[in-house]
Amino acid sequence: MFYVKLRDKDGNLNGISILKLKDKMGTRQLPTAELVLKGTTAYLVSTPGKGIRYISDMLTITRLYNSVR
């Protein structure tokens, strides 16, 4: 799992290119996109090989929070 800053020091997207915004029903406030991360600065924040485990825990907490909210 990596931490990626959205913008660089100049305020530009951090090497992120948006290929396509997906049109989804019901979740227009939180769009999904296809991104190219070529040249993007990222920082490893989990143990290598365990990123899926950590992100799935985070998604579960987020889903629980949203359902209670």
Largest CA distance in the chain: 39
pLDDT digits (tens, 9 = 90+) for 25-41: 666 667 788 899 998 98
Question: Which of 42, 22, 20 has its CA nearest to residue 31?
Answer: 22
In the chain, domain spans: 2-68
- Number of CB atoms found within 10 A of residue 42's CB: 13
State which residues of the chain have pLDDT below 50: none
pLDDT for res 57: 84
Q: Give the pairing type, strands 2-4 and 42-44.
A: antiparallel
Q: Which two tokens stand for residue 15?
A: 């090497």
pLDDT for res 43: 93
